[in-house]
A and B are shown apart, each in its own frame.
Chain A
Amino acid sequence: MRYIEPHAHMVSRTTDDYTAMVTAGCRAICEPAFWAGFDRSSAQGFHDYFCQLTDYEPKRAAKFGLPHYSWLCLNPKEAENLALADEVLALLPSFLDRPNVLGIGEIGLNKNSRNEVTIFERHVELAVKHNQMILIHTPHLEDKWKGTRLIVDILRAHREIDPARVIIDHVEEHTVNLVLDAGFWAGITLYPQSKCTPARAIDMVEIYGAQRLWLNCACDWGQSDPLAVPKTALEMKQRGHSETAIDHLIYGNPLRFLSQNPKFRLPENH
């Protein structure tokens, strides 16, 4: 088995997790910027985090033979302070040329507030200005449906955005159609309690097709499983999916989406 983990917050994971993921067949990891579990008090804190994502963490992953890529932004959970958010947004362009940066993400909404919408739109404008791909976080639980609709409406208002270069993550049964019908890629996140189980993820793959879907674990500092993608692949096998179909979903699809950025390259022996 081989797979790409397109969404994992490795800065909060141990080296044991890198070992387990490589052993399970992981060929590359992508790490979107996210909330640290507390609000950072200054733009300098974000600067240091972006350095961690673009310098230290790739070196750490390389010790396990894993290419490491990142997406940069200010997470919607920290968007209420508009002045700080603008300072952080001003930092981003200086990081976009770094070799492992794939685009802007994971931007989006959390509680669907006015300030979150404002900062989401500013991120989108920044992505358009710098021709960046976009990775989007949709809200949790009761806020997801409303947030996904707001996000899709905002993106569709930007006619210069190519939906094929945008992935909207954390879809569930009530939002997957909203995303796919608008032409975007959709991410299914395998995360205990608050997102999706392997069985439900496979249901959605069977119902909606695997053309523009990827699976990810979004492992972070919460209860989460860095091996959720390969475990789901095993369950797909139990459900009768072929090796080829599984490879297409967990390796081919993220490779196809991410390779739209020429910086994303895997070693030839992969």
Chain B
Amino acid sequence: MDRAHLTDLYFAEARSKLIDLAAFLDRIDRSEGEDDFRLQSLRAALKELAAPKPDKAKAILLLLSDPTQQPVAEAGGKSATGAWPGF
């Protein structure tokens, strides 16, 4: 599928997600407090988004991933947060 057709198919959705993200960051900026590791990771990911290189989804997923290789001592809960606390 060529660029024009892909743009027809996905532009409105991408635009909507982009504005949601912008509004989220505005909301955060209006709030009291400091960025935690999740927001720090998200702001770093935005730079990947703007970088002129391919495989942006993979790069952002890796940026948000735990890069260590050894199993942790205990699970310490069941949920994931979406970003690596050691970022």
Report A's interface with B, CB cutoff 8 A: 35, 77, 79-80, 110-117, 139-146, 149-150, 172-174, 194, 199-200, 203, 238-240
Contacts and interface: CB of A to CB of B under 8 A. Distances in A.
A173 B57 CA distance: 7
B62 interface: yes
Contacts of B58: 173-174
B66 A146 contact: yes
B36 interface: no
Given A111-B76, A140-B80, A239-B9, A200 B57 contact: yes
A34 B56 CA distance: 32
B74 A80 contact: yes
A143 B71 contact: no
A77 B76 CA distance: 11
B73 A113 contact: yes
Interface residues of B, number: 29
A111 B75 contact: yes
A134 to B, nearest CB: 20
Contacts of A140: 79-80
A80 B55 CA distance: 36
Contact of A115 (B10, B65, B74, B78): B74
Contacts, number: 84
B77 A111 contact: yes
Contacts of A110: 75, 78
A145 B65 contact: yes
A114 B68 CA distance: 14
B10 A199 contact: yes
B10 A139 contact: no
A149 B83 CA distance: 18
B67 to A, nearest CB: 7
A152 to B, nearest CB: 12
Given A142-B65, A199-B10, A113 B82 contact: no
Contacts of B62: 145, 174
Contact of B66 (A145, A172, A199): A145
Greatest chain B CB density within 10 A among A113, A139, A146, A238 is at A146
B75 A113 contact: yes
B31 interface: no
A80 B75 contact: yes
